């Protein structure tokens, strides 16, 4: 990943930025596919629906306007997913993994309702997944010692003093490692999570 101040969503306005487009597809395809399968969609159908969702996202993302509200992009993505599922269900292509008929309409209604448990779970899963995936994507941009210092502080919740002693670094170096990685993470997550 190149260290750039432009966020992924800003970069997508350039149709020729193949890195940004690849990043978007790599970031969101597994999340959508996994979510669909957990909702009872057969693997083959989930693959097709994921592709349909991503096609709509690619076609429409240039028109996406972030409202400034927390979760605007994930809400937009959820709406596209709901619409693709609804269209698939209406065309009778949808198949349930369970032996009985899945009440897809009720599930879609719950997913559309921002106050429902299903909708909140979507939001939480989205944010957790995107955060972890972005961390994986930016890790190669940092030296291993910087990454270890960050992980010990943020993931393991060790104090900067403890990490410094363990790694033979100064407390300042440990704090700088954390700050640098969090700064890049925030740049990359801008618009996707917030």
In a domain, 42, yes or no: yes
If asked whether residues 25 and 90 sit together in one domain, one would say yes
* Tens-digit pLDDT profile for residues 114-166: 888 988 988 899 889 988 998 998 999 999 999 999 999 999 999 999 999 99
Q: How many helices (H) and strands (E) does the chain have?
A: 9, 0
Residue 66 or 181, more confident: 181
Q: What Cα–Cα distance (Å) separates residue 31 from each residue in 80, 99, 158, 159?
A: 14, 25, 30, 32
Q: Is residue 76 one of the residues assigned to a domain?
A: yes
40 — phi, psi (to 5°)? 100, 5
Same-domain status, 76 and 25: yes
64 in the same domain as 27: yes
Rounding to the nearest 10 degrees, give the CA dihedral for residues 38, 42, 48, 52: -40
Q: Could you tell me if 190 and 95 lie in one domain? A: no
Domain count, the chain: 2
pLDDT of residue 22: 87
Please tell me whether residues 170 and 134 are part of one structural domain: no
The domain spanning residue 171 has which CATH number?
Answer: 1.10.10
Residue 82 lies in a domain: yes
Min mean pLDDT across 9-23, 36-50, 109-123, 128-142 is at 9-23
Q: Check if the beta carbon of residue 77 is closer than 8 Å to that of residue 111.
A: no
The pLDDT of residue 2 is above 60: no
The tally of CA atoms less than 13 A away on the side-chain side of residue 46 is: 17
Residue 42 is predicted with a pLDDT of 83
Residues 168, 107 within the same domain: no
- Chain centre to alpha carbon of residue 8: 12
Statement to judge: residues 59 and 104 lie in one domain: yes
Claim to verify: residue 130 and residue 189 sit in the same structural domain: no
pTM for the full predicted model: 0.73
Same domain? 163 vs 99: no
- If phi over 0 gives left and psi between -120 and 50 gives alpha, with beta otherwise, what is residue 92? left
Q: Which domain holds residue 149?
A: 143-194
110 and 50 belong to one structural domain: yes
pLDDT at 4 over 70: no
Residue 41 lies in a domain: yes
Same-domain pairing of 110 and 43: yes
Cα-based distances in Å from 60 to 43, 56, 64, 151? 25, 6, 7, 36
Of 162 and 12, more confident: 162
Q: How confident is the model over 74-101, as pLDDT tens digits?
A: 889 999 998 998 888 777 554 444 433 4
Contact assessment for residue 84 and residue 54, using Cβ atoms and an 8 Å cutoff:
no
């Amino acid at each position: 990943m190149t260290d750039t101040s432009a966020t992924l969503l800003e970069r997508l306005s350039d149709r020729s930025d193949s890195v940004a487009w690849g990043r978007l597809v790599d970031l969101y395809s597994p999340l959508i596919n996994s979510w669909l399968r957990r909702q009872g969609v057969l693997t083959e159908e989930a693959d097709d629906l994921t592709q349909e969702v991503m096609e709509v996202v690619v076609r429409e993302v240039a028109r996406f306007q972030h409202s400034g509200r927390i979760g605007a992009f994930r809400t937009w993505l959820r709406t596209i997913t709901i619409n693709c599922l609804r269209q698939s269900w209406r065309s009778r292509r949808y198949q349930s993994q369970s032996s009985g008929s899945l009440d897809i309409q009720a599930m879609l209604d719950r997913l559309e309702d921002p106050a429902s448990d299903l909708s909140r779970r979507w939001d939480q899963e989205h944010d957790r997944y995107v955060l972890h995936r972005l961390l994986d994507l930016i890790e190669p941009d940092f030296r291993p010692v910087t990454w270890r210092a960050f992980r010990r502080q943020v993931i393991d919740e060790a104090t900067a003093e403890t990490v410094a002693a363990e790694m033979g670094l100064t407390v300042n170096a440990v704090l700088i490692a954390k700050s640098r990685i969090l700064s890049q993470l925030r740049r990359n997550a801008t618009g996707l999570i917030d």
